[in-house]
Structure 1
Amino acid sequence: MLISLIGMSGSGKSYWSEKLAWHGFRRFCLDALITQKLSDKLRREDLSPLSLGEWMGFPFQDGYQEREGLYLSLEKQLMAEILDWIDENACAGSEANVVLDTTGSVIYTGENLLERLRSLTTIVYFAVPSVIREAMLRQYLSNPRPVLWRGIFNIEPGESVEEALFRSYNALLDLREVVYRELADVEIDYFTRNNPDFKICDFLEIAAKPEKRYRCVST
């Protein structure tokens, strides 16, 4: 089975892709690969390590747009390379099970790459209910992840930065949710995938429901 996981940063994609890897799936994690590409930049002045989220920073900080652009450029490059690999290897039968742990910003990689993602993988969307959003934002503020805001963030007159982040974060999720759902083959809701009784076999049963035929170029 060829699976791609999509959804917001913090929705559990890496957790489930790692579980799939433990069950024999070949795993590609885009954030980890981008981190490798940016390794020379992920150092503070004292040479201590900097996380990818810390490097990206918040949308109101100086240099954010340049870092956002570099991140997206690397994401597109790596996405193309991974999809080429899937086309040449998994579709040819040498790798039966592959999981692609995408970033939350996968929807910005362009229609050509997204169409290839649709053609080559079953896309599983990890939806996030509104009741969880504030907790996700709090987590983002305390432990920044590389979020691409794409111009959504702004500070209205009289707003604090935190108020602006909360309002803009909800607007960002509202917009992304529509695109994620349009892109996905199947959706697994938050409470289902976080239920302790929900096992990897249950995940795979849901992911297999679309009975998708992969359209490989190499074959």
Structure 2
Amino acid sequence: MVALPGELPPGRRLRSSLDQQIIAAAGRFVEVKRYDRLIAAFAAVRAAHPGWILRIYGYGSLEEDLRSQTNRLGLGDSVHFMGPARDIEAEFAKASILAVSSDNEGFGRTIIEAFGCGVPVVSFDCPRGPREIITPGRDGLLVPPGDVDALGAALIELITDDRLRRRMGGNAFQTAQHYDITAIGDRWEHLLSDLVAAKARVMGGGDLLLRGRR
């Protein structure tokens, strides 16, 4: 089986300066995204680095529950619910880290969108998506699924180590080039060419077999 990933549209992208005290997250406010765990992890970030904020882009049925949790933890002035974003890449370019707290991901488009802005990603190592895109220690960090303490610690690691964050951001931007629509288009062309050639070989073998029976 051959799997081809999603792609980034062409065009010049905004690059993050990686010096803004902003962690971003984006997606629907539904159970699978586990923003409750991200908010819990951010409580440790806030305790150690009170200047940093968490911006969550999206909407959904759990918004009120998440707002209530934020207030219970005393994070009301540090966790911002931003609503849907028309240009999420422009918003990612304002951040220094992207956080992914999902139980599972189909692909992880927000990861490659953040990479396109040169933003490193901290994510749960959930099935599929993140582990297929992130190279741990190079362009992001993966932590055990559901481990809130580990997620908070990984965020703090990138916050405190400016050199590491910038190195990973540069690598993330390089990784994003593999998902440019031109590169993905070339892979589709090669795949289709291989399939056509394989079909031709099979059909040719069938013709030989028929001729041999005459």
- From the CA coordinates, give the structure whose radius of gyration is larger: 2
Q: Would you say same fold, with TM above 0.5?
A: no
- TM (norm. structure 2) is 0.36
- TM (norm. structure 1) is 0.36
